Amino acid sequence: MAEIIVVTSGKGGVGKTTSSASIACGLARRGHKVAVIDFDVGLRNLDLIMGCERRVVYDFVNVVNGEASLKQALIKDKRFDNLFVLAASQTRDKDALTREGVEKVLKDLADDGFDYILCDSPAGIEKGAFLAMYFADQAVVVVNPEVSSVRDSDRILGLLSSKTRKAEEGGRVKEHLLLTRYSPKRVETGEMLSIADVEEILGLKTIGVIPESGDVLNASNKGEPVILETTSDAAQAYDDAVGRLLGDNRPMRFVTVEKKGFLSKIFGG
C-alpha cells in the first residue's frame, strides 16, 4: 500500500515546495519508489525546483480530465530512476481538480507499486489544498517560527482533524511539524519563536528543523532540491527529517547558537 503524505501550511512562502522536493528525493535515495504531485493549479513551481520544467508535456489536470494517461504525464527524475514528478497546470482554474479525479490518480499510483506519494499542497484552505490533504495518511505541516505562520497552521490542523477521509472514517491523519528558516540567534534575542513555543501552540512534535540558509534559494535557482547539496546544513537537516519520518531516532541539529572557541575569539574566526 502506498503511503500518502501531504506537505501543507496555512501561510504561503514558508517552504512547502522546497520541502516536498527534498523529502521526495530523500525517500527515493533510500530506495523507495516515490511520486510527488503539484496541487498548486495555476502557479506550478514544483517542476522548477525539481529541474524538469522543460520536460512537462502533460500535467495533473490533463490526467484528471482523461486528456492524457498517468504514464504520459509522469516525469522521471534525472537523478533517481525511482522518483517521478506530476506537474500542476499553469493554464487551468483551481476548480479543475475533482475529488473523484484525484482519488483515481492516487489509486493508479498505488496500483503501480509506488511506496510514497507526496502531495505538494497550495497554501491556505481553498479547493486545491483541501484535495491535497483529503486522502492523506500523514501530514507534514511546514511552519516558519513566527506568529502569523503558526496561527495560520493551527487552522490547517483543524481541517486535517475534521475534513479528511481518515477523519470521516473515525481515524486521524498522522501529523508532523517541520520548522523552516530557523535561526537560533534570532530565537536567543526573542525575535523568533523557539521550537518549544511552536510545539506548545500547535500540539505537534517536530520532525525536522531546517536552518535559515542561502543554500535553499541557490539550490532552487539551479533546479536542484537542496537535500542533494550534501555539504549544506539545510541538506543535512532535511535528510534528518526524512530519517525521522521513517522512524529513525536522530538528534536535532542546527538548533543552538554555535559558541566560538577561545582561539577564534582571539583571532576573529
Grouping H, G, I as helix, E, B as strand and the rest as coil, residue 191 is: coil
Sheet hosting strand 34-38, strand order edge to edge: 75-76, 83-86, 34-38, 116-120, 3-8, 138-143, 174-182, 206-211
Residue 151: all three cell numbers together: 496561527
Beta-bridge mates of residue 119: 6, 37
Contact 160, 173 (CB under 8 A): yes
Q: Is 269 annotated as a binding residue?
A: no
Q: Are 12 and 43 in contact (CB under 8 A)?
A: no
221 contact partners, CB below 8 Å, separation of at least 6:
none
Q: Which parts of 82-213 fold into alpha helices (H)?
A: 99-111, 127-134, 147-160, 165-168, 184-188, 195-202
What SS3 class is residue 37? Answer: strand
Instruction: Find out whether 230 is annotated in a ligand binding site.
Output: no
Residue 91 marked in a binding site: no
Cα gap 111→104, rounded to integer Å = 10
Q: Is 12 marked within a binding site?
A: yes
Q: Does the annotation list 216 as a binding residue?
A: no
> Looking up cell 506537505, which residue turns up?
7
The residues that bridge with 8 in the sheet, in sequence order, are 141
Task: Report the sign of the C-alpha dihedral through residues 162, 168, 172, 177, in that order.
Answer: negative
Residue 16 assigned as binding residue? yes
Tell me whether residue 76 is annotated as binding.
no
Binding-site sequence positions: 11-18
List binding-site positions for ATP.
Answer: 11-18
